[in-house]
Every structure is written in structure tokens, then in C-alpha cells.
Amino acid sequence: MKTILITGGAGFIGSHVVRLFVNKYPDYNIINLDKLTYAGNLANLKDVESASNYEFVKGDIVDGDFIQKLFEEKQFDGIIHLAAESHVDRSISNPMEFIHTNIVGTVNLLNAARHIWGDQMEGKRFYHISTDEVYGSLGEEGFFTETTAYDPHSPYSASKASSDHLVRAYHDTFGLPTVISNCSNNYGGYQFPEKLIPLFIHNIRNNKPLPVYGKGENVRDWLYVEDHANAIDLIYHKGVIGETYNIGGNNEWKNIDLIKVLCEKMDVKLGREKGTSEKLITYVKDRAGHDLRYAIDSSKIQKELGWEPSLQFEEGIEITINWYVENQDWLDNVTSGDYLKYYEKQYIDR
């Protein structure tokens, strides 16, 4: 029986990864370590919480002593590290949280893995989940490959870039069996409604303005979250130690075009007259340091590990819209408290 630590398992992507691993690998003990920040929500894991191969541990990866003790007690065979502060806008208003969790937290995990594994690294694995945002911004053409030089622009992406470098440094210096993947923007159910797609679905439903940053011309490459979870499964098991894999949807959208698709589909879903939701579009002040375009070349993982996205965007966005419309209780529960304060502060002066 292997014991696998998944950090940040109560968050958006983490909850999909925990669900996949708990259901697919009954012979793994899956331990989900999460601080339950505003973005962490155990309701995301209701369907697996009583599985015999699943355990939740509440804790902070920034607390080095706690992490060390947890590793000594559980003797993890593998780590899939997703816990992070993940929202660019929050990193602009409060960078220090990002430095603590994304950088110090990652180093605490690396140190603890080194400590328990010592020279016995055979069969062990430290898998760090990262983002395409570390590569910076593209112009109209080209794609990020695994060898694109890092050029982060937001405190979020700079903190993720820093953690990637540290993971590689622990591989090169101490021989830690690490692997890294950098993925493009994810969408799907259970995403906190501060990110573009769930926020706009929520606002359309509630007839609230849709705050489009700048001219809405920035481009993102969107991947359905379960396709990311499947890639993580593949890389965890088959990825080569010391390597990096880019994961992307080959699915670029200008923000404004994507927003118009959401508006059209929501009009149909809510039985509103065509064009009703588009009237909610409100152009607001641009995000500081806003990267123009992200696009991933995922040919390495496709060729070497045989991964490819299973869903076309048309299908994925339909599933996603249905999920948020059908899970109004989930949305209502998370759009209270800290989130409401954040939302007012974020959008009041724009």
C-alpha cells in the first residue's frame, strides 16, 4: 500500500486530482493536506470523504515543524504538490501570502521529503504542479515550450517560477526525484468564482456587471480540469524524473470572445432573450502587468506519454456552465464572507 500526499486537495484542481486518485487507486492511501484558505472547500470532496483510502489533514505548508512531523509520521512514498495561492489579482494586492505559501511552503515540503527519504529515493517521487504563467507573455505568435526562458510578471507567477527553480535545484543538488508540469488555464466545476469563467457565470445569473479588464484582448489557452487531472496521473506514474512537461488545451480564446460565448450560452440556459447577458459587459481598468497571451506547446507530453485532451471546448464549456447552474448552493456558500470583502475591494474603483 503506497501513501501519497496531495497538497491543496480541497481547492479547484486538487479536488479533481484527489477524486481521480481515490477512485482509481484503491491500493493507495491518499492524504489530502490543505489549510482550507478561502479557496479550499471540503464540500468539493463530499463524494469521496468517507472512502477507506482517503484521509484529510488540515494544516499549513508554511509551518515547517508541522510538515516535518507529518512526513515522519506518514512516511509518504510520493507527493503531488498543488497547494498554492493561485489568483493573480490577489497577488497584486497582497504579495506576501504568495511568497510564504508558494515559495517557503514548497521548500518546507522539499526539505521534509529529503529528510524522510534520505538515500532511499528508489520508487519515490516529488511532483510539483506549476503554471504556464512562469514563461511570461507571448506576442501574437509562438508557443511556450519546456525550454522557454522564465519571464514572470506578476507576484503570483514570480512566486511559482521561484518554486519551480527550487524544485529543480533540489533535484540537481540533492538528487531528489522531482518532476514538474506547467499547465495552461483550467476550467470546470469547483473553481472559486474569483477566476474569469465561474465569476462571469455567477454574475450573469445574478444580473451583475461583467468586469472585462482593459480591452478584453488578452488571450488564454483553456483546458478542461479533468484533462489536467488525467495528465497529472500520467506524469506522476510515467513522467521521467528531473523532467518538465507542458500541458495545454490547444484552445486559445481572446477574453472578450470567450465572454461572448458565455453570455450567449447563459441566455439560452436561463431562457433570456438573445443579447441580454452581453449588456452586462463593462470594460474596467486593466490588470497591472497584464500578460497579453499564453499558449502552450504540449507536444512533449503528447509524444512521450501519449496524453491528449479528451474534451473539445464546446463540450467542456457546456458541462461547466451546467455544473454551476445546477450547483447554485455551492456557489452561494463560497460567495460569502472573505470573498465578498475581496470582491468589493477589487472592483469598487475600476
Catalytic residue among 34, 85, 132, 227: 132
**Cβ–Cβ contacts within 10 Å for residue 95, how many?**
16
From 220, 228, 265, 293, residue interacting with ligand TYD (rule: CB under 6 A): 220
The least CB distance from residue 319 to ligand NAD, in Å, is 16
Surface-to-core class of residue 160, CB atoms within 10 Å of its CB (0-12 exposed, 13-18 middle, 19+ buried): buried
Residue 107 has which C-alpha cell?
521548500
- Which of 53, 91, 186, 203 contacts ligand NAD by CB under 6 A? 186
Q: What residues have CB less than 8 Å from 169, skipping those under 6 apart? A: none
Let me know if 132 is a catalytic residue.
yes
Measured over the CA atoms of residue 281, residue 287, residue 289 and residue 295, the dihedral's sign is negative
The least distance separating ligand NAD from the CB of residue 314, rounded to whole angstroms, comes to 19
CB of 156 to ligand TYD, least distance (A): 7
Q: Tally Cβ neighbours within 10 Å of residue 290.
A: 14
**Would you tell me how many other CB atoms lie within 10 Å of the CB of residue 25?**
15
The CA distance from 95 to 85, in Å, is: 10
Bin 271: left if φ > 0, else alpha if -120 < ψ < 50, else beta.
left
Q: Segment near ligand NAD (CB under 6 A), from 7-15, 72-80, 266-274, 284-292?
A: 7-15
Q: Is 133 a catalytic residue?
A: yes
Nine-digit cell string for 222 = 483553456
Report the DSSP pairing between strands 281-284 and 185-187.
unpaired
Q: Does 183 bind ligand NAD (CB under 6 A)?
A: yes
Q: With left for phi above 0 and alpha for psi between -120 and 50, is residue 332 left, alpha or beta? A: alpha
Task: Return the range that interacts with ligand NAD (CB under 6 A); candidates 118-126, 178-186, 297-305, 334-342.
Answer: 178-186
CA dihedral 283→249→228→201, nearest 10 degrees, is 30
- 136 interface partner picked from ligand TYD, ligand NAD, none, CB below 5 to 8 A per type: none
199 binds ligand TYD (CB under 6 A): yes
CB of 303 to ligand TYD, least distance (A): 26
Q: Which does 101 bind (CB under 5 to 8 A by kind): ligand NAD, ligand TYD, none?
A: ligand NAD
Contact 289, 154 (CB under 8 A): yes
Is 110 a residue that touches ligand TYD (CB under 6 A)?
Answer: no
Find the part of the chain contacting ligand TYD (CB under 6 A) among 32-40, 118-126, 191-199, 222-230.
191-199
Residue 91 binding ligand TYD, by CB under 6 A: no
Catalytic residue among 34, 60, 133, 226: 133
Task: Using DSSP, state whether 31 is helix, strand or coil.
Answer: strand
Question: Can residue 19 be called a binding residue for ligand TYD (CB under 6 A)?
Answer: no
The reply to whether 117 sits near ligand TYD by the rule CB under 6 A is no
Assign 233 to helix, strand or coil.
Answer: helix
Q: Give the residue closest to ligand NAD by C-beta.
A: 11
Q: Is 255 in the site for ligand TYD (CB under 6 A)?
A: yes
Q: Which three cell numbers stand for residue 64?
A: 515547517
- Residues annotated as part of the active site: 132-133, 156
Kindly list the residues in this chain that would bind ligand NAD in the complex (CB under 6 A).
7-8, 10-14, 34-37, 39-40, 60-62, 82-86, 101, 105, 129, 131, 160, 183, 185-186, 192
Kindly list the residues in this chain that would bind ligand TYD in the complex (CB under 6 A).
88, 185, 195-196, 199, 211-213, 218, 220, 255, 287
